[in-house]
Amino acid sequence: MKNYHQFDVVVVGAGGAGLMAALYASKTASTAVLSKLYPTRSHTGTAQGGVGAALGNEGEDHAEWHTFDTVKGSDYLGDQDAIEFMCSEAVSSVYELEHMGLPFSRTPDGRIAQRPFGGHTNNVTGKPVPRACYAADRTGHMILQTLYQQCIKKNVNFFDEFQVLDVLIVNGAAAGVVALEMATGELHVFHAKAVIFATGGHGRIWEITSNAYTFTGDGLAITLRRGIPAEDMEFFQFHPTGIYRLGILITEGVRGEGGVLINDKGERFMEHYAPHVKDLASRDVVSRAMYLEMQEGRGIGGKRYLYLDMRPETVNQYAAADGRRRTDGSPYIVTGEELLGKLPDIVDFARTYLGVDPVAQPMPVQPTAHYAMGGIPTNKFGQVVIDENNTVLPGLYAAGEVACVSVHGANRLGTNSLVDLIVFGKHAGLDAAAYALGASYQVLPDDPTDFTRAQLEAIRQSSGSESAFEIAREMKSVMFDHVGVFRTAEGMQDALAKVRELRQRLQHVRPADSGKIFNTELLNTWELGNLLELAEVTTVSALARQESRGGHAREDFPKRDDANWLKHSLAWVRDGQIVLGYKPVVITKFQPKERVY
Ligand SMILES: Cc1cc2nc3c(=O)[nH]c(=O)nc-3n(C[C@H](O)[C@H](O)[C@H](O)COP(=O)(O)OP(=O)(O)OC[C@H]3O[C@@H](n4cnc5c(N)ncnc54)[C@H](O)[C@@H]3O)c2cc1C
């Protein structure tokens, strides 16, 4: 067969999760990585602030504290067995990255430097604890480069600019994937014993977003079409500090280093919403507080933005008021030079995109769509589970942002995604390779590419004059307004009707490019179909959940309702209809309590 390949393990995606999985799988199994991007262009490379692990280098810390903070941050929806596993593995995983050569920033005595981040606390005092290990504000970039080098060293097989369009499932087990080679437009079949999806998130559904253009939810849409459910899709995180109008991220590390949010009256308003940890409350809490401030007319100049202030005089004033001290006990006083050293990219972004020098002027910011807590349901070994009883689909794995383990529950803490990638990427890789050792290749159907070709032909053959750009614009706008930080039944009904209309209209988009070589117009149209499908699943899941929890805040149901809603949602697409189901949350040590920050 032409364009046929065979590997024990095929990894889809070359971000932090995919590379970690490939590195571990390749120790004992023949392994290929397929990526629609050149690997080091994956979104992991944009992660700024840090990777969370309780090393205790800059103050007392314990994996148990990290576990509790993550459970609390998740608004008690995270599965506690998986969270405990992740937080204890985090420590050895970070040292492992260090030993691979990752150039972490250092404390004066040479250990890995750590900074505070939202929701990470000393469980005894309730004060912020420095837990984020960082390489200036380029932590994700360094992780990606380090892992890519290791994969090259271990001779992992890379297929760059191969976009996966379908997963093959035979006899109820994973059998491979179908991918389009972008340079030629040809379809390839990758026959595999195990397939690991590590395709990242889907934040391009929303108008203001920190996510790369490539975050179009491909892996999740592909598995939904093959009968696998999507878990907890109503929970999407809005990060408090996106650059006004552009959404480009200003890391929470700015607040970790002492930056504060300020309203039009010059007040540090987080004091009113989270008196203990203030600007370092979890992201859902801060984003909601910002919306309320703006709603009450305290946006800057009455507009839809607030200031993020990291000028040394402001940082030092509030650090003194908070009684913040350095590890050696001296008062926390920063200089512009120190901030430049720790946050060089942020300074650069502010100058480039805002024309603002953040050491001399405050930065205009607004909440920006940032992270998918929901995704392909898995257990803590990365195995995909397909129903309310957590039945495993043999040979199919997911890791990273596309997966829902669930360790982030209803709201992810900052720095916990990078940990998730390295811990669950590693275990998915190990488990997939072990599975492949004992499994045999499934016999493929006569034409494994038929479903993919049907999808592409439908786009190529469509008639009509609808514009994909306009459809995307309308989706982003309605989702940002009605399925954003605050939600109501009425608004979400409107959004759902609009998204369904747009899905119809998408069938009348005809790409002008009919060629084969790098036909990005064809692929972008296919990706827009994925985004619309996930927008619909998100809205249906959100409408059903009649409570407020973490990243899902309903004005018509403002309270968390553990009696009825302490459960994960599952959404299947069956005969074109979305069907919902639910499964219990795993609770081990921590009974749900009200969250106080
Ligand atoms: C601006 C920004 C800053 C962040 N900062 C932090 C931080 O400081 N700390 C933290 O913990 N988290 C942070 N996050 C979140 C975190 O970076 C992401 O959740 C994480 O990097 C996702 O990694 P991943 O491996 O799942 O996916 P990615 O790194 O996005 O990789 C996805 C891969 O899948 C491939 N792919 C996708 N679709 C297909 C397809 N159809 N076929 C083939 N290949 C495909 C892509 O080519 C890519 O290689 C940040 C996120 C953003 C956007």
Question: Which among 37, 44, 195 is the best mutation to test ligand 1's pocket, defined by most ligand atoms within 8 Å of the CB?
Answer: 44
Task: Indicate if 454 and 580 belong to the same structural domain.
Answer: yes
Residue 431 lies in a domain: no
Summarised one tens digit per residue, pLDDT across range 79-112 is 999 999 999 999 999 999 999 999 999 999 999 9
Sequence-distant (≥ 6) Cβ neighbours of residue 448 within 8 angstroms:
168, 176, 178, 189
For residue 315, what are the CA distances in angstroms to 260, 262, 298, 323, 341?
7, 12, 21, 12, 16
Using the 3D structure, point to which of 332, 367, 402 is the last residue of a domain. 367
Q: What is the CATH number of the domain that holds 499?
A: 1.20.58.100
| Helices and strands, counts by H and E, the chain | 17, 22
Residue 384 lies in a domain: no
**Ligand 1 atom at shortest distance from the alpha carbon of 420:** 11
State the residue range of the domain holding 492: 450-584
Query: CA-to-CA distance for 274 and 166, rounded, in angstroms?
Result: 45
Count of domains in the chain?
A: 2
Provide the angle, in degrees to the nearest 10, between the axes of the packed helices 139-153 and 416-438.
20
18 ligand 1 Cβ < 6 A: yes
12 ligand 1 Cβ < 6 A: yes
Task: Indicate if 473 and 351 belong to the same structural domain.
Answer: no
Active-site amino acid positions:
283
Task: Indicate if 462 and 577 belong to the same structural domain.
Answer: yes
49 ligand 1 Cβ < 6 A: yes
The phi, psi pair for 585, rounded to 5°, reads -85, 140
Q: How would DSSP label each residue in 454-519?
A: HHHHHHHH--S-B-HHHHHHHHHHHHHHHSSSEE-HHHHHHHHHHHHHHHHHHTTB--S---STT-
Query: CA-to-CA distance for 486 and 499, rounded, in angstroms?
Result: 18
C-alpha 42 to ligand 1 mean position (Å):
6
Residue 267 lies in a domain: yes
Task: Indicate if 457 and 363 belong to the same structural domain.
Answer: no
Q: Verify cis geometry, omega within 30 degrees of 0, for the bond prior to 406.
A: yes
pTM of the model: 0.97
50 ligand 1 Cβ < 6 A: yes
Query: CA-to-CA distance for 306 and 293, rounded, in angstroms?
Result: 9
Task: Indicate if 456 and 562 belong to the same structural domain.
Answer: yes
C-alpha 230 to ligand 1 mean position (Å):
18
118 ligand 1 Cβ < 6 A: no
Sequence-distant (≥ 6) Cβ neighbours of residue 215 within 8 angstroms:
43, 200, 201, 202, 203, 204, 209
Residue 469 lies in a domain: yes
Task: Indicate if 337 and 460 belong to the same structural domain.
Answer: no
Is-contact 365 249, C-beta < 8 A? no
Query: CA-to-CA distance for 213 and 211, rounded, in angstroms?
Result: 7
Residue 118 lies in a domain: no
Residue 170 lies in a domain: no
Residue 355 lies in a domain: yes
Task: Indicate if 466 and 575 belong to the same structural domain.
Answer: yes
416 ligand 1 Cβ < 6 A: yes
Sequence-distant (≥ 6) Cβ neighbours of residue 561 within 8 angstroms:
546, 547
Question: Which among 19, 23, 33, 42 is the best mutation to test ligand 1's pocket, defined by most ligand atoms within 8 Å of the CB?
Answer: 42
CA 49 to chain centre: 14
Q: What is the CATH number of the domain that holds 331?
A: 3.90.700.10
Sequence-distant (≥ 6) Cβ neighbours of residue 424 within 8 angstroms:
17, 86, 378, 380, 382, 399, 400, 403, 405, 407
- CA gyration radius for the chain? 23
For residue 500, what are the CA distances in angstroms to 227, 449, 534?
20, 28, 11
Over its length of 597 residues, how does the chain's per-residue pLDDT go in tens digits? 789 999 999 999 999 999 999 999 999 999 999 999 999 999 999 999 999 999 999 999 999 999 999 999 999 999 999 999 999 999 999 999 999 999 999 999 999 999 999 999 999 999 999 999 999 999 999 999 999 999 999 999 999 999 999 999 999 999 999 999 999 999 999 999 999 999 999 999 999 999 999 999 999 999 999 999 999 999 999 999 999 999 999 999 999 999 999 999 999 999 999 999 999 999 999 999 999 999 999 999 999 999 999 999 999 999 999 999 998 899 999 999 999 999 999 999 999 999 999 999 999 999 999 999 999 999 999 999 999 999 999 999 999 999 999 999 999 999 999 999 999 999 999 999 999 999 999 999 999 999 999 999 999 999 888 999 999 999 999 999 999 999 999 999 999 999 999 999 999 999 999 999 999 999 999 999 999 999 999 999 999 999 999 999 999 999 999 999 999 999 999 999 999 999 999 999 999 999 888
**Ligand 1 atom at shortest distance from the alpha carbon of 249:** 1
**Ligand 1 atom at shortest distance from the alpha carbon of 216:** 38
- SS3 state of residue 395: strand
Provide the angle, in degrees to the nearest 10, between the axes of the packed helices 80-100 and 139-153.
70
Q: Which two tokens stand for residue 449?
A: 């590419």
Burial of 117 (0-12, 13-18, 19+ CB in 10 A): buried
Task: Indicate if 250 and 346 belong to the same structural domain.
Answer: yes
Summarised one tens digit per residue, pLDDT across range 398-453 is 999 999 999 999 999 999 999 999 999 999 999 999 999 999 999 999 999 999 99
139 ligand 1 Cβ < 6 A: yes
Task: Indicate if 357 and 458 belong to the same structural domain.
Answer: no
If you take atom 6 of ligand 1, which residue's CA is the nearest one?
47
Using the 3D structure, point to which of 312, 333, 367 is the last residue of a domain. 367
Task: Give the number of other CB atoms < 10 A from CB of residue 67.
Answer: 25
Sign of CA dihedral 70, 71, 77, 78: positive
Query: CA-to-CA distance for 398 and 406, rounded, in angstroms?
Result: 12
**Ligand 1 atom at shortest distance from the alpha carbon of 399:** 26
First to last CA, the chain: 60
Task: Indicate if 459 and 580 belong to the same structural domain.
Answer: yes
285 ligand 1 Cβ < 6 A: no
Is-contact 309 334, C-beta < 8 A? no
Query: CA-to-CA distance for 77 and 64, rounded, in angstroms?
Result: 18
209 ligand 1 Cβ < 6 A: no
Question: Which among 43, 97, 156, 452 is the best mutation to test ligand 1's pocket, defined by most ligand atoms within 8 Å of the CB?
Answer: 43
Residue 18 lies in a domain: no
If you take atom 21 of ligand 1, which residue's CA is the nearest one?
44
Task: Indicate if 458 and 554 belong to the same structural domain.
Answer: yes
Question: Which among 162, 199, 283 is the best mutation to test ligand 1's pocket, defined by most ligand atoms within 8 Å of the CB?
Answer: 199
Nearest to 202, CA basis, from 397, 42, 428, 369:
369
Q: Which two tokens stand for residue 376?
A: 């392909």
Placement of tokens 């005089």 in the chain: 313
If you take atom 50 of ligand 1, which residue's CA is the nearest one?
47
